[in-house]
A = this chain, B = another copy of it.
């Protein structure tokens, strides 16, 4: 495995995930066809699959069964995809373009998009319940995902974002922005790393240090990811990004770039990346784990250096 380049590994995993999602989400010939079509539109052929990649990379650390890691990856992407569908709604960010194609409500209608998102969230937990893991691990995966997706995670971050946008002229501190993103995007990214590891068996003696370090890694990489997103919103084009660029500035949304400047934001991304790598060193130093975090480290580099 170690001789496969990161780029090839990533491409292979992305293609593999596509087939997992293709097979795992009910077909558009399954009743009710329209809803399944909208769900598939929302999750298939979409995005960089950062959360599945993190999940697969972390699953290597605990040598998880491939089908167990697949289930964890799919459940994560169900949640991520549903959140994009709902975020794009007219009453939210009102975006017509997503991953270079029509957003779900633009294609299927508002009500159908609400339902497709809702059903994708339920599907996430169905996938975990059917995953080939010990019941104890399934419960743990459910808890991690539900907490990351819920009011103290992703949904809470989105709500906090709405409340800040409402008061956009007030001074917003960098701490508020970090808190916002730690919930809105960070929680699910951290969950991806933890779920990858938990989809395998963790020896009790290593559990505490392993999960703490992965949690630190997830938190740091989540921050880096969002900071880079803000940078790309300023420096990227819609063509490269597959979504509307320059939106944040047009909406006077507070971003890491607006608060720290372009160079300040880039430097924060680098610093977070270093923190992420330091957390991986903690795992590498455990007996038996040398070399196990290679792909996670590569993803950290990719997140910071990507151009879309």
Query: Which of A's residues lie within 8 Å of B, judged by CB?
Result: 26, 30-32, 34-36, 39, 82-83, 86, 89-92, 109-112, 114-115, 117-119, 121-123, 125-126, 128-130, 134-136, 138-140, 142-143, 145-147, 149-153, 155-156, 158-160, 162-163
Contact = CB atoms under 8 A, between A and B. Distances in A.
Contacts of A150: 119, 122-123, 126
Given A117-B118, A125-B125, A159-B32, A142 B138 contact: yes
A129 B142 contact: yes
Contacts of A115: 86, 155, 158-159, 162
Given A151-B39, A155-B119, A111 B92 contact: yes
A274 to B, nearest CB: 29
Nearest to A86: B114
A159 B91 CA distance: 20
A157 B158 CA distance: 28
Contacts of A147: 122, 126
Contacts of A140: 129
Contact of A156 (B31, B91, B130): B31
A32 B142 contact: no
A122 B158 CA distance: 14
Contacts of A32: 151, 156, 159-160, 163
A173 to B, nearest CB: 15
B91 A155 contact: no
13 contacts: A32-B163, A35-B160, A86-B114, A92-B114, A119-B150, A119-B159, A125-B125, A129-B142, A129-B143, A130-B143, A138-B139, A138-B142, A139-B142
A135 B139 CA distance: 6
B119 A122 contact: no
Most buried by B among A34, A90, A159: A159
B114 A26 contact: no
Contacts of A34: 159, 163
Closest 8 CB pairs of A and B: A122-B150, A91-B110, A135-B135, A129-B143, A126-B146, A35-B159, A119-B155, A119-B151
